[in-house]
């Protein structure tokens, strides 16, 4: 009688070890999906943000730019968070730095 009680008490411990292994195996696809998501979506987006930040820091007076709204002009004055952009002769607008999407090569505008 004493032996059957001991066997009965060790059986749930063995079963819980198997449950732990199966729960780890069920988490494996979720972890794999997160790793793939990181390398396919998150990492390239972070790289693009870093490049955009570097481009904005390198802006200088006289650079020719394209804005998020599609305006093309030349930087005429710079502040901490705003730029004055000359769109045409005598037409100057103020834009946030974040609105600049591209710096054009010198001489693009005539």
DSSP state of 110: -
Predicted pLDDT of residue 20: 80
Quick check: pTM over 0.85?
no
Nearest-angstrom CA–CA distance, 73 and 84: 10
The pLDDT of residue 4: 61
Please tell me whether residues 5 and 54 are part of one structural domain: yes
d(CA 104, CA 10): 74
Average of pLDDT values for 59-79?
95
Confidence (pLDDT) at 92: 97
Q: What is the mean pLDDT of the chain?
A: 87
Specify the number of domains making up the chain. 2
Q: Concatenated DSSP letters for 44-104? A: HHHHHHHHHHHHHHT--TT-EEEETTS-EEEEEEE-SSEEEEEEETTEEEEEEGGGEEEEE
Residues of the domain holding 37 = 1-58
Query: Does residue 49 belong to any structural domain of this protein?
Result: yes
| Statement: residue 15 has pLDDT above 60 | no
**What's the CATH number where 95 sits?**
2.30.30
Average pLDDT, integer, range 65-72: 95
Let me know whether 44 and 73 are in one domain: no
* 109 located within any domain: no
Q: Are residues 2 and 54 in the same domain?
A: yes
């Amino acid at each position: 009688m004493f032996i059957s009680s001991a066997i009965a008490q060790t059986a749930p411990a063995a079963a819980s070890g198997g449950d732990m292994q199966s729960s780890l195996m069920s988490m494996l696809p979720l972890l794999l999906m997160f790793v793939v998501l990181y390398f396919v979506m998150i990492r390239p987006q972070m790289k693009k943000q870093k490049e955009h930040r570097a481009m904005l820091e390198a802006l200088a007076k006289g650079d020719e730019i394209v804005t998020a709204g599609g305006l093309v002009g030349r930087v005429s004055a710079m502040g901490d968070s705003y730029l004055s952009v000359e769109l045409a002769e005598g037409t100057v607008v103020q834009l946030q730095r974040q609105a600049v999407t591209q710096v054009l090569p010198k001489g693009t505008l005539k």
